[in-house]
């Protein structure tokens, strides 16, 4: 008998969302460029569905130099103009500028903490996480901050009780 895994309701019946749910969501990310990718994806997801972001993921990787923090931090007006014309990504100017700003902010956190991962790891989860993130980064409201920190494994994800990954 082929028993199918029961997943969280938000990803059921969708192979792309299910794969993300099973292999990435809530898993600890230690690589700074991967953390930057996750942050950027959450920024661009604001107001949209997560599926849209996953569908456009390869295009985002190409547009943002494989999320190489140092390269994105150096993006200037010519590159920004190209991004604003790139129909394969979400062309929201505020989100594009926030991504470049955030890359520069991450470089500062790397200097201060040794890595962006160390900064994320040291966030006080008993305090206001949104206030901590907004102090350093753009476009990091309550939902975006929470999703970023859950997505990268810094805070516990909320699996449905009947999900095969639920741990109580």
Catalytic residues: 20, 42, 50
H or E element in which residue 120 lies: helix 116-121
The torsion angles phi and psi of 120, rounded to 5 degrees, stand at -60, -40
- Record the tokens describing residue 57, joined without a space: 């993921």
Placement of tokens 């993921």 in the chain: 57
Contacts for 118-125 with beta carbons within 8 Å, 24 or more apart?
A: 120/35, 120/149, 120/152, 120/154, 121/154, 123/149, 123/154, 125/154, 125/155
Query: In angstroms, rounded to a whole number, what is the distance separating the alpha carbons of residues 142 and 131?
Result: 9
- Who's near 35: CB < 8 A, 6+ residues apart? 29, 106, 116, 117, 120, 152
Neighbour count for residue 57 (Cβ, 10 Å): 15
């Amino acid at each position: 008998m082929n028993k199918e895994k029961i997943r969280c309701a938000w990803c059921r019946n969708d192979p792309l969302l299910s794969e993300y749910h099973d292999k990435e969501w809530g898993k600890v990310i230690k690589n700074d460029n991967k953390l930057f990718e996750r942050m950027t994806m959450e920024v661009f997801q604001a107001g949209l569905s997560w599926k849209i972001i996953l569908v456009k993921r390869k295009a985002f990787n190409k547009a943002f130099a494989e999320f190489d923090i140092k390269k994105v931090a150096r993006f200037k007006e010519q590159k920004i103009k190209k991004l604003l014309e790139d129909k394969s990504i979400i062309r929201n100017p505020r989100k594009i500028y926030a991504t470049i700003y955030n890359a520069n902010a991450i470089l500062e956190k790397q200097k201060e903490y040794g890595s962006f991962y160390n900064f994320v790891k040291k966030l006080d989860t008993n305090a206001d996480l949104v206030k901590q993130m907004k102090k350093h980064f753009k476009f990091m409201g309550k939902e975006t901050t929470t999703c970023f920190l859950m997505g990268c494994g810094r805070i516990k994800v909320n699996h449905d009780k009947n999900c095969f990954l639920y741990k109580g």
